[in-house]
Chains A and B, each alone.
Chain A
Amino acid sequence: MYGRLPIVKMLLATLALTVAISAVMVSINWDGQEASTAAPQIDDLLNVMIVLSSLVFSLVLVMLFYALYKFKAKPGDESDGEPIHGNTRLEIAWTLIPTIIVLFGGGYSWKVLHDIEVKEPNALTVDVFSQQYAWSFAYPGRGYAYTQGEFHVPVNRQVQFKMHAQDVIHSFWVPEWRIKKDNVPGITTTAIVTPDKVGTYQLICTELCGFGHATMRAKVVVEPPGKFKEWVQGLKQKTPPPLMESVKQDTQTNPVDLGAGGA
């Protein structure tokens, strides 16, 4: 009836293009420096998804350009194409294969999500306070010692951040840790991270909070446990009473533990 398609050649072209695109894309470190135990897991997931996406994208490109190369009408050709209405097997294939791919991605994501949020018993708790347009921090383990615009944490120990917003929603993001969580007025939100590289990083507010949003930053220092202990013992300030109120109030209005990483 009508001609056959060079299926094998098209598939080979798709695979070659996938390999080419993936080789370039995976070799680039898109997310920047990795400085927490979660970062490599998230970046690996991203790379796997880049390879799978390259496959889909290459398939679309090969299908489109082969069709344009092979089935473009000659000038003056006013005839119609072949009256093909569909192909049930093909339609089942491009329903089922993407379903399998996305469900695989979903399962993999679920596992990564679970792994990066496992709570450890010896974790350090840090309270985070955000307001237009400043960050401050308290260490409940040290009698709520208080620091503004800068905080330190020890390397290779899990930190659980308890976040409180004083006015509008802010969001806590340290790109090198790959961890982000909104600070919501009225409730306490939690983020879990295990920093594994000593260094100085930036905490960035990522939820629009007003005209000072772009400059609402804080300094993050990850250092060896000894130096951290020294630094935290040197803190003279105590958490001001209004912020202590928000620590207490948050726990009162939101008594249910909503699970790891949740509200």
Chain B
Amino acid sequence: MVAAIKRPGWTRGLVGAIAAGAFGFGLVVALRAISDLPVFQTEQTGYPHIVVPLITAPLGFLAGFGCFDYWLRWAAGMPTIPDDHSQHGAKSWRDYFRFNTDHKVIGIQYIVTTFFFFFFGGLMAMLIRAELAQPGTQIVDAATYNSLFSTHAVLMIFVFVIPVFAGIANYVLPLMIGAPDMAFPRLNALSFWMLPLAGLLFIGSFLAPGGAFDAGWTGYAPLSTGAPLGQSFFNLGVQFAGASSIATALNFLVTIITMRAPGMTFWRMPLLVWANLSTSLLVVAATPFIAGAQFMVLLDRAVHTNFFDFAAGGDVISYQHIFWFYSHPAVYIMMLPGFGIISEVISTHARKPIFGYRLMALALIGIVVLSYSVWAHHMFVAGMFSWLRVPMMLTTLLIAVPTGIKIFSWLGTLYFGKIHTYSTAMLFALAFIVTFTIGGISGVMLGMVPIDIHVSDTYFIVAHIHFVLFGGSVFTIFAGIYHWFPKMTGRMYDERLGRVHFWGTLIGTWGTFIPMHWIGMDGMPRRVADYASQFGNWNLLISCFAFMLGAVQLVFLYNMVVSWRFGPRAEANPWRANSIEWQVSSPPPIFNFDEIPRVVGGPYEFGVPGAKHAIMAGEGAEVPAGEPSVVGSSS
């Protein structure tokens, strides 16, 4: 027991969490006692004796778990434990539950954790659709309904879509650029372990008195500043998810800029690398704004700083400006990595170089720049300065141009290629082009102020964000998971089940979200548990499709779990792709490369006679097919 407490790990982590939580609780009690205040303050938004431990306990867990050991020893002048790489790699499933600095282990930790939250949030969506299947309230009351859709959105955005991309890139990106690991492996592990804490805070808010946070994922003040305790769980969860996101983005930036293999110039980087470079530029500069917005709400709630309290001179609308200054770039944070995945998948399965590679990379940078100048299009009816609307409308419409360039370039890539559709990844990539076009079109319409005045805060918005985030981001996530599944697990998944999952998801997505456009334009507001009976039939239809969409995700889960354990062994390069991660075994050797590869050409030189992307160590001796685990595992 004593040994377990001395060693970093779960026991010490839990002890640390309890100790730090108790310290936070004691601090509040002691400070209030010496200030002659009632020891327990229970006004609706306060509860400092719960809020402060919510900050200290997760930090205590991280410290106990070993996330800070190396740095703390170094800072204290103690002998640091030399990294003998014994923690690298995962030999059994237990290794995924340890503090591990291997980017491949962290990548899988990310993906599995985020998919856990995906299914959890998906269950909430099923409950929401069950409630909405008929007018009136049947299953949950209005307050619980508000908690459900708020938590659904927050889980999907902050602990699924954003971090799952970080997970995929964590695994693939260092291999792609020929690097042995990420630039800061310990920071990388810390980034991951903050994520489940954020998810737990979001889900744990259901236990708070007054119920889970229910002001929407947008948490507009003053509804949020006056909400019950659950809102503070949201404010704090965002801090952990945001810190995780920012640290990972810094890690990606440094890795991409400094650790590319010799010969990999910027114009020889695969587009997935470009996409993560652009995303990271967005994350590091924009995420602090949502962290700030949520801290301001938390301080308004806990210590009455009155940032957003109009009665005390605060400004209600400024919350929305700060919030959207992050949250609009956030939609590109949730989309650009997906663009990168689609480029890899389409080029490989069409056996063609990416059409207009440089323009594709520049379009990503164009989106990054423009996305900082469009945030107020969420506020056309919010009562902000009216002159701000037209410039924001024009930048919003212009951002469709680089997005259109990407759509047409993917289509151009298909021409004169040899398109293979046997892979589920390619099916999702091709369907993504069409579904995302719909989401883009409704986005352009929403960008136009007069149309937005009518449809903002209606089901049209719900339809649009789900076409972009589900038909867009989630389709690219599925494409990426299927594409790199053989590389990550060393096994092949079942393509037949993949097809069932694909067609079910495609039909479910269209059936669920297309009719939402119609009922929105016709007058159904969003975020309502009850609605006018004229929309009853459409909502019943939507719910039926939604249940099918939910059910078919279980096929995906089954396919992944069973194939990971029992699937046929994967070759090193089952898709005959060019980029570097496919030139090593599946799964890759513990340290990625015996010798850093040399990059000698572009990443998509399909059909170019004699062209090569990279020269691997021992060039000429190809990895023997079917025996992937032998090569390189000795290093």
Residues of A within 8 A of B (CB): 2-3, 5, 30-32, 38, 41-42, 45-46, 49, 53, 56-57, 60-61, 63-64, 67-68, 71-73, 77-87, 90-91, 94-95, 98-99, 102-103, 105-106, 109-110, 112-113, 116, 167-169, 171, 173, 175, 178-187, 189, 204-215, 258-263
- Residue pairs across A and B with Cβ atoms less than 8 A apart, 6 shown, are A5-B415, A42-B453, A49-B445, A84-B353, A112-B450, A171-B457
Instruction: Report chain B residues within 8 Å CB of A60.
Output: 407, 411, 433-434, 437
- The proximity string for B residues 138-174 relative to A, scoring 1 for CB distances below 8 Å and 0 otherwise, is 0001110010000000000000000000000000000
Chain A residue at minimum C-beta to C-beta distance from B604: A85
Instruction: Give the distance in Å from the alpha carbon of A196 to the alpha carbon of B227 in the complex.
Output: 41
B93 at the interface (CB under 8 A from A): no
Checking A175, A205, A210 against B454 with a beta-carbon cut-off of 8 angstroms, the contacting residue is: A175
**Pair B416/A2 contact, Cβ less than 8 Å:** yes
**Pair B525/A205 contact, Cβ less than 8 Å:** yes
B419 at the interface (CB under 8 A from A): yes
**Pair B441/A67 contact, Cβ less than 8 Å:** no
**Pair A71/B146 contact, Cβ less than 8 Å:** no
Q: Looking at the complex, which of B326-334, B354-362, B625-633 is the stretch in contact with chain A?
A: B354-362
Smallest CB separation, B531 vs chain A (Å): 7
For chain B, the count of residues having a C-beta within 8 Å of the partner chain is: 91
Residues of B within 8 A of A (CB): 141-143, 146, 214-216, 220, 222-223, 226, 310-311, 314-317, 350-359, 381-387, 389-390, 393-394, 397-398, 400-401, 404-405, 407-409, 411-412, 414-421, 430, 433-434, 437-438, 441, 444-445, 448-451, 453-454, 456-458, 518, 521-523, 525-531, 576, 605-608, 611
**Pair B141/A211 contact, Cβ less than 8 Å:** yes
**Pair A30/B451 contact, Cβ less than 8 Å:** no
Instruction: Report chain B residues within 8 Å CB of A186.
Output: 310-311, 314-316
Given A45-B448, A178-B454, A185-B316: A208 in contact with B393 (beta carbons within 8 A): no
Instruction: Give the distance in Å from the alpha carbon of A260 to the alpha carbon of B215 in the complex.
Output: 30
Smallest CB separation, A145 vs chain B (Å): 25
Instruction: Report chain B residues within 8 Å CB of A169.
Output: 220, 222-223, 316, 382
Checking B398, B526, B606 against A99 with a beta-carbon cut-off of 8 angstroms, the contacting residue is: B398
Given A31-B522, A63-B411, A208-B223: A83 in contact with B389 (beta carbons within 8 A): no
Chain A residue at minimum C-beta to C-beta distance from B521: A30
Checking A5, A77, A102, A184 against B316 with a beta-carbon cut-off of 8 angstroms, the contacting residue is: A184
Given A79-B351, A175-B522, A206-B525: A84 in contact with B454 (beta carbons within 8 A): no
Chain B residue at minimum C-beta to C-beta distance from A45: B450
Given A83-B605, A95-B405, A184-B382: A102 in contact with B441 (beta carbons within 8 A): no
Given A179-B453, A208-B220: A213 in contact with B386 (beta carbons within 8 A): no
**Pair A56/B437 contact, Cβ less than 8 Å:** yes
Smallest CB separation, B414 vs chain A (Å): 4
Checking A49, A179, A260 against B451 with a beta-carbon cut-off of 8 angstroms, the contacting residue is: A49
**Pair B401/A102 contact, Cβ less than 8 Å:** yes
Chain A residue at minimum C-beta to C-beta distance from B528: A214
Q: Name the residue in A42, A60, A209, A215 with the highest tally of chain B Cβ atoms < 10 Å from its Cβ.
A: A60
Q: Name the residue in B314, B451, B607 with the highest tally of chain A Cβ atoms < 10 Å from its Cβ.
A: B451
**Pair B525/A185 contact, Cβ less than 8 Å:** no
Smallest CB separation, A36 vs chain B (Å): 11
Instruction: Report chain A residues within 8 Å CB of B142.
Output: 211-214
Given A86-B357, A169-B316: A71 in contact with B223 (beta carbons within 8 A): no
Chain B residue at minimum C-beta to C-beta distance from A260: B386
**Pair B146/A80 contact, Cβ less than 8 Å:** no
Instruction: Report chain B residues within 8 Å CB of A102.
Output: 397-398, 400-401, 444
Smallest CB separation, B292 vs chain A (Å): 20
Instruction: Give the distance in Å from the alpha carbon of A71 to the alpha carbon of B310 in the complex.
Output: 62
8 nearest A-B pairs in the assembled complex, by CB-CB distance: A262-B386, A186-B310, A81-B417, A80-B607, A214-B528, A175-B523, A67-B414, A189-B383
Instruction: Report chain B residues within 8 Å CB of A41.
Output: 450
Seed contacts A173-B457, A206-B457; 5 additional CB < 8 Å A-B pairs: A32-B522, A49-B444, A67-B415, A81-B606, A184-B317
Instruction: Give the distance in Å from the alpha carbon of A214 to the alpha carbon of B450 in the complex.
Output: 24
Smallest CB separation, B625 vs chain A (Å): 14
Instruction: Report chain A residues within 8 Å CB of B606.
Output: 80-81, 83
Instruction: Report chain A residues within 8 Å CB of B383.
Output: 181-184, 187, 189, 262-263
**Pair A71/B393 contact, Cβ less than 8 Å:** no
**Pair A53/B444 contact, Cβ less than 8 Å:** yes
Instruction: Report chain A residues within 8 Å CB of B611.
Output: 83
Instruction: Report chain A residues within 8 Å CB of B418.
Output: 71-73, 77, 79-81
Instruction: Give the distance in Å from the alpha carbon of A91 to the alpha carbon of B409 in the complex.
Output: 8
Chain B residue at minimum C-beta to C-beta distance from A49: B445
Instruction: Report chain B residues within 8 Å CB of A98.
Output: 400-401, 404
Given A91-B359, A186-B315, A259-B386: A211 in contact with B146 (beta carbons within 8 A): yes
Checking B226, B355, B389, B430 against A113 with a beta-carbon cut-off of 8 angstroms, the contacting residue is: B389
Checking A32, A64, A112, A206 against B430 with a beta-carbon cut-off of 8 angstroms, the contacting residue is: A64
Chain B residue at minimum C-beta to C-beta distance from A93: B408
Smallest CB separation, B385 vs chain A (Å): 6
Instruction: Report chain B residues within 8 Å CB of A103.
Output: 394, 397-398
Smallest CB separation, A200 vs chain B (Å): 14
Instruction: Give the distance in Å from the alpha carbon of A189 to the alpha carbon of B12 in the complex.
Output: 55
Chain A residue at minimum C-beta to C-beta distance from B609: A83
**Pair B386/A263 contact, Cβ less than 8 Å:** yes
Given A64-B414, A213-B527, A263-B386: A82 in contact with B400 (beta carbons within 8 A): no
Smallest CB separation, B517 vs chain A (Å): 8
**Pair B451/A42 contact, Cβ less than 8 Å:** yes
Instruction: Give the distance in Å from the alpha carbon of A259 to the alpha carbon of B353 in the complex.
Output: 52
Instruction: Give the distance in Å from the alpha carbon of A91 to the alpha carbon of B358 in the complex.
Output: 11
Instruction: Report chain A residues within 8 Å CB of B518.
Output: 30
**Pair A105/B411 contact, Cβ less than 8 Å:** no
Instruction: Give the distance in Å from the alpha carbon of A3 to the alpha carbon of B417 in the complex.
Output: 12
Smallest CB separation, A258 vs chain B (Å): 6
Q: Name the residue in A106, A189, A208 with the highest tally of chain B Cβ atoms < 10 Å from its Cβ.
A: A208
**Pair A46/B387 contact, Cβ less than 8 Å:** no
**Pair A182/B381 contact, Cβ less than 8 Å:** yes
Instruction: Give the distance in Å from the alpha carbon of A99 to the alpha carbon of B389 in the complex.
Output: 19
Chain A residue at minimum C-beta to C-beta distance from B411: A63
Instruction: Give the distance in Å from the alpha carbon of A81 to the alpha carbon of B604 in the complex.
Output: 11
Instruction: Report chain B residues within 8 Å CB of A63.
Output: 408, 411, 414
Smallest CB separation, A247 vs chain B (Å): 15
Instruction: Give the distance in Å from the alpha carbon of A234 to the alpha carbon of B523 in the complex.
Output: 32
**Pair B453/A82 contact, Cβ less than 8 Å:** no
Instruction: Give the distance in Å from the alpha carbon of A178 to the alpha carbon of B387 in the complex.
Output: 20
Checking A82, A184, A208, A214 against B352 with a beta-carbon cut-off of 8 angstroms, the contacting residue is: A82
**Pair A206/B415 contact, Cβ less than 8 Å:** no
Smallest CB separation, B118 vs chain A (Å): 24
Chain B residue at minimum C-beta to C-beta distance from A43: B454
Given A67-B414, A71-B415: A180 in contact with B530 (beta carbons within 8 A): no
Smallest CB separation, B573 vs chain A (Å): 13
Given A68-B419, A109-B448: A210 in contact with B387 (beta carbons within 8 A): no
Chain B residue at minimum C-beta to C-beta distance from A99: B401
Smallest CB separation, B310 vs chain A (Å): 3
Instruction: Report chain B residues within 8 Å CB of A206.
Output: 456-458, 525-526
**Pair B350/A71 contact, Cβ less than 8 Å:** yes
Given A84-B355, A102-B400, A211-B141: A182 in contact with B527 (beta carbons within 8 A): no
Smallest CB separation, A228 vs chain B (Å): 24
Checking B401, B416, B438, B444 against A71 with a beta-carbon cut-off of 8 angstroms, the contacting residue is: B416
